[in-house]
Amino acid sequence: MLQIYNTLTKQKAPFMPLVEGRINMYVCGITVYDYCHIGHARVMVCFDVITRYLRSRGWDVNYIRNITDVDDKIIKRASENSESVEQLTERMIDAMHEDEDALSVLRPSQEPKATAHIDEIIALISTLVEKDFAYPASNGDVYYRVEKFAEYGKLTNQNVEELRSGSRVEIDEAKESPLDFVLWKAVKPGEVSWESPWGAGRPGWHIECSAMSKCCLGDTFDIHGGGPDLPFPHHENEIAQSEAANGCTYANYWMHAGPVRVNSEKMSKSLGNFFTIRDVLEKYNPEVVRFFLARVHYRSYIDYSEDSLKEARVMLERFYQALNGVAACEFSSEDAISAGINDFEQRFIDAMDDDFNTPKAISILFEMVNELNKYKKASNASAAAVAHKIAELGGVLGILQQSPDAFLKGDDKEGELSAEGIEVLIQQRVTAKANKNYAESDRIRDELASQGVILKDSREGTTWFREG
């Protein structure tokens, strides 16, 4: 049975859906004011793997991931760029989709935008005001009364008394309590705004997700996910808003991806260790980046470093080298059984059913690689059966979907020896060996090796791949 670690209960538990066979999942998306960074990629890949696996097991997954397209940072950046909020956000949404496509991240079932749900946001705030969980303030904003919601802090074990004592009251603050947070912001000169019962303004960040999840999934849904920085205050505030307004549980399971650190330090622009997805993809094959992100358990932190990415490349090379040269022949269920595929597959499923344990699942794929290398020497049918299953299970993780030749040889990059040039040198080496000019043959091999091109000789001829 599928077990999921629930951030709310702090333990793993069997997953019990609201509707048999169907999973409604909401994941907090990106505030689209800049290019996505490697931390965003972590969350994208984590929940993409989760969705792929659940669908592979027959679940009907309705995966919603929102887009925040109105926000203080967006307004500030649009002003700095001398462009409209809409121009900036549409450009950044396109860039986000390009990054996702490069990393083989499937699009969510729906991608609601905050600006397309203003009516629903206003309606939700109105309900909270009517129930006395929110109040219009003298500055034109509308705030949520945190202390009226008795269970505030239950997701992160925060105590309201401790939060109050640790907070600072700002001068001229219009809030009743320093803990109260904004639901509706009064318009400032030059800002984008919408009309509301409390005057022109725009939504606060937290209320957007409560409104969009309610619109797409209803008052209660199965799984709510997000990044490591969201449990407090964003997800605490979502719970407070939604459960006060709707009078029922907001989400039954909470899942959070772990953080990305850079050489063991927190990633931050101020430290100069901040990398956009585009920065990383300029240097590394997208599948290497995806594998690097997927091979660590989704709740654990990832240490981003050159060495970690090189290690991921080497591991993927091992997969593709094993798959390379396997004849595409017919195989029977008996071939699969004799190769032990059913056992491998069940162990893979057991690993993923245990809170999506990708490290264990990948270790099982490596065991299958060892078997494949044995069968490549003895049985074409068994080798084909194992190779097929490795690629199939790899697809559940969003990897191993390229042809081995394409991955191992890669695309020609600026400053690298072209594939055509490599083939010319290999042919020159073949000629040198035929003429028993072994010194020249070794020289060519060494020249190619110095440029990261590794040769592999066999009775069928010479193949090559790029190292790293």
- CATH number, residue 289: 1.20.120.640
Indicate whether 247 and 304 sit together in one domain.
no
Q: Could you tell me which residues are annotated as the binding site for ATP? A: 269
Is it the case that residue 169 has pLDDT exceeding 60? no
Indicate whether 214 and 126 sit together in one domain.
yes
Indicate whether 89 and 237 sit together in one domain.
yes
Q: Report the pLDDT averaged over residues 75-87.
A: 97
Indicate whether 293 and 180 sit together in one domain.
no
Indicate whether 303 and 324 sit together in one domain.
yes
Q: Could you tell me which residues are annotated as the binding site? A: 28, 209, 234, 238, 269
Indicate whether 135 and 216 sit together in one domain.
yes
Q: Could you tell me which residues are annotated as the binding site for Zn(2+)? A: 28, 209, 234, 238
DSSP symbols for 371-389: HHHHHTTT-HHHHHHHHHH
CB atoms within 10 A of CB 136: 19
Q: Report the pLDDT averaged over residues 14-19.
A: 98
Burial class (CB in 10 A: 0-12, 13-18, 19+), 270: exposed
Interval 369-400: pLDDT, tens = 999 998 887 768 888 899 999 999 999 999 99
Residue (of 416, 319, 296, 404) closest to 370 by Cα position: 319
Domain limits at 458? 411-466
More confident residue, 244 or 384: 244
Indicate whether 452 and 424 sit together in one domain.
yes
Final residue in a domain of this structure, among 205, 239, 257: 257
Is it the case that residue 92 has pLDDT exceeding 60? yes
Indicate whether 275 and 289 sit together in one domain.
yes
Final residue in a domain of this structure, among 257, 286, 319: 257
Given pLDDT bands bounded at 50, 70 and 90, which one contains residue 326? confident
pLDDT at 414: 55
Structure tokens that stand for 285 in this block: 């094959």
Indicate whether 401 and 415 sit together in one domain.
no
pLDDT at 417: 75
Q: Report the pLDDT averaged over residues 313-319.
A: 95
Indicate whether 218 and 351 sit together in one domain.
no
Indicate whether 352 and 443 sit together in one domain.
no
Can you give the CATH number for the domain in which 35 is found?
Answer: 3.40.50.620
Domain count, the chain: 3
Indicate whether 298 and 364 sit together in one domain.
yes
Final residue in a domain of this structure, among 222, 257, 292: 257
